Amino acid sequence: MAVHDHDHDHSIHEEPSHTRDLDAQVKKRLLVSIFLTGVIFLAEFIGGLYTNSLALMSDAAHVFMDVFALSLSFFAIYIAEMPPTEKRTYGLHRVEVFVSFINSFVLLLITAYIFYKGALRLLSPEPVESVGVLVVAALGLAVNLLVAMWLHHYATSDLNVRSAFMHVVGDAAASVGVIIGALIIYYTGWYQADPLISMLICVIIVNGAVKIIRESSHILLEGVPREIDLGRIKSVILAPEGVSSVHSLHVWSICHNVFALSAHVDIIPTQRYRMGEIFSEINEVLAHDYHIHYTTLQAECSGCNPRDTFGRIAHKERGHGGHLH
């Protein structure tokens, strides 16, 4: 016997009006932020070519990460609103995870090339139009600060927006580095400052990209969310009176901020009449304390090994009966 608990109804028609209004406001701010950041990306890319500044080109790559992060946050709102289908019973939430992985991998390749060019320029410095770099970088910094302020209110309560907000803040810091490099070149004529700044920005990009690849891979491989302590989850399930043991326990992420859980819960015979109450108690704690809103709890399981906490999965040929242990 199984009980499926879904605390959030994703039907667009049944969403509270204040939730729809909030999503509309977030969409509007994200769209404006995407446009402004996209303009800065083009300005820094073209400016980097015009001024021969590798630092500005590196910052353009970093801004591209911002454009992508903001676009993904905007896209994720629409993904969450799309209903599941017979072919995609979880909807399309994993699309944002997959796209994050691919984008970060491509950025690593781009960054490797920029880093290589920076190393060559350290050995053979090339002249850089410092005034042009300073103007474009200052403009980029101003827009990044504006976008950061524009998103700050929503970043405090929305994990999706917070991720994009942190990208923008990081790029603002990179823009400061480009400005410093331009000032050094303007006052000293030391052109090596430009490749050094570009290589530093590359390190920042690699650090962020590797984190995204690691997290995306963890989700795609059905790993336990890093915020979740499985030992505590087990304790929550065992806490209600009448629960004797839990096994075949699995916790995974559908996307970056949507968690799911399934488990076999053994209830002593004299307490089975309270099964619905017990499951409701477990689900309430999981949702409130651990952000797990999608649970599948099975109360009876014939052929399961109660000592196998994680329910080892065995590969079986199709057409063969039996339970997976």
Q: Where are the alpha helices (DSSP H) in the chain?
A: 17-51, 54-81, 94-123, 130-155, 159-188, 193-220, 230-238, 275-290
- Which residue numbers in the chain have pLDDT < 50? 1-19, 322-325
**CA nearest 286: which of 222, 220, 247, 234?**
234
Instruction: Look up residue 127 and give its two tokens.
Output: 């002249």
Return the bridge partners of 4, or none.
296
pLDDT value of residue 150: 80
Q: Give the model confidence (pLDDT) of 11-70 as tens digits.
A: 333 444 444 555 677 778 888 888 988 999 999 999 999 999 999 999 898 888 888 878
First to last CA, the chain: 18
pLDDT value of residue 312: 65
pLDDT value of residue 238: 93
Amino acid symbol at 178: V
Domains of the chain: 10-220 (1.20.1510.10), 224-325 (3.30.70.1350)
Burial of 196-219, coded b for 16+ CB within 10 Å and e otherwise, reads: bbbbbbbebbbebbeebbebbebb
CA dihedral sign of residues 269, 273, 278, 283: positive
CA dihedral sign of residues 231, 234, 239, 244: negative
